[in-house]
Structures are given as structure tokens and as C-alpha cells.
Structure 1
């Protein structure tokens, strides 16, 4: 993916791979958004975590 999205929802089985994916996005500048959602599907614990890029601040130019 060439363009970084401002918002992403990461989902998956609650394991080291999921944590690595979220950690990698944090290293790229994303920030956690809200609390994770956790659900049990009868076999595995499935988690979802939203991440966002910080807002781009526009400097005001004085006239």
C-alpha cells in the first residue's frame, strides 16, 4: 500500500503476530484510538484495535 491511511482497524487472533502488527504501525507513527475490542469465536480470542495517524497541523500565516 503506497498511501498511508489516516485510520485503520486491525483485527485478528489474539497472539504475538497481532501484537507485532499493531506495534509495527505504532513505530510508523500511528497512535492507538480507543480501547481494543475482544470477542471469543468459540475457538480463539479475536481482537480489534483502531489506530490513527496524528492530525496534520497547519501553521497559520500572519498577514
Structure 2
């Protein structure tokens, strides 16, 4: 998985963290959570605010 796989990442985050609300996660924590996913293989410096925002929005939609 790479940073551009925002929907796939959101699904993995939802499965890995069912007890955490995506509405309460800040971008710094979100970035760390994504990088901790076993399937994630991209480099940390390739992330940015727009990418993290897309992941968070997909996670919120996935949760609904």
C-alpha cells in the first residue's frame, strides 16, 4: 500500500482501530497510524496534508 491508496488505507485503519474515531485523530497521529500498518510500504516523506486529509475523509465515510 502507498500514500495514494487512500481508500485501501482507510479500510485497513478502520479494521485495525475500531475503537478510535477518525474525527478525533490529528494528522501527525494519522500519519504514524498509517505507517504502522503491516501492508504499508511507502516512504514517510511522501505524505502531505492533502493525502492525510483524503485518508481521513475515506475513513470517516467507511465508518458511516
TM-score w.r.t. structure 2 length? Answer: 0.26
Q: Which has the higher helix share?
A: 2
Q: Which has the higher contact order (CA 8 A, sep 6+)?
A: 2
Q: Which has the higher strand share?
A: 1
Bigger Cα Rg: 1
